[in-house]
């Protein structure tokens, strides 16, 4: 997981955005995370993604959590992007 602030205030226009990069497993189980924030949304990805993010942000390191919260307060778009899942982690866990 990582959080990045992008763009904003170029020539006084635009607020930029905050991009939250999560492991692909969060996309696969997005609905399960969203359930704890008011239920599943019947396949509406954007709403489930926002609910999922509200749920998982509590486990972020303090600086990353602050970036997300400040981004929302500043009116920035908070966008979630998913990084590939590393299947090699599973193989390492079963070896040895």
Q: How confident is the model at residue 48 (pLDDT cuts 50, 70, 90)?
A: confident
Inform me whether the pLDDT recorded for 46 exceeds 50. Answer: yes
Mean pLDDT score, 26-49:
70
Residue 31 lies in a domain: yes
Q: Quote the tokens at residue 85.
A: 């899942």
Question: Is 80 within a domain?
Answer: yes
Judge whether 96 lies within some domain: no
> For residue 47, what are the domain limits?
2-86
Among candidate residues 33, 35, 15, 14, the one with its CA nearest the CA of residue 25: 33
| Domain assignment of residue 17, yes or no | yes
Specify if 70 maps to a domain.
yes
Q: How many domains does the chain have?
A: 1
The total of other beta-carbon atoms located within 10 Å of residue 39's CB is 11
Stretch 42-70: mean pLDDT: 84
- What is the model's pLDDT at position 37? 56
Average pLDDT over residues 20-31: 90
Residue located via tokens 């970036």:
67
Distinct helix (H) and strand (E) counts, the chain = 5, 3
């Amino acid at each position: 997981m990582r959080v990045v602030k992008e763009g904003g205030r170029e020539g006084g226009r635009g607020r930029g955005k905050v991009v939250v990069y999560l492991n692909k497993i969060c996309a696969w189980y997005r609905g399960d995370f969203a359930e704890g924030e008011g239920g599943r949304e019947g396949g509406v990805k954007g709403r489930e993604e926002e609910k999922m993010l509200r749920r998982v942000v509590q486990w972020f390191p303090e600086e990353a959590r602050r970036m997300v919260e400040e981004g929302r307060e500043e009116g920035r778009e908070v966008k979630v992007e998913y990084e590939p899942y590393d299947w090699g982690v599973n193989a390492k866990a079963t070896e040895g």
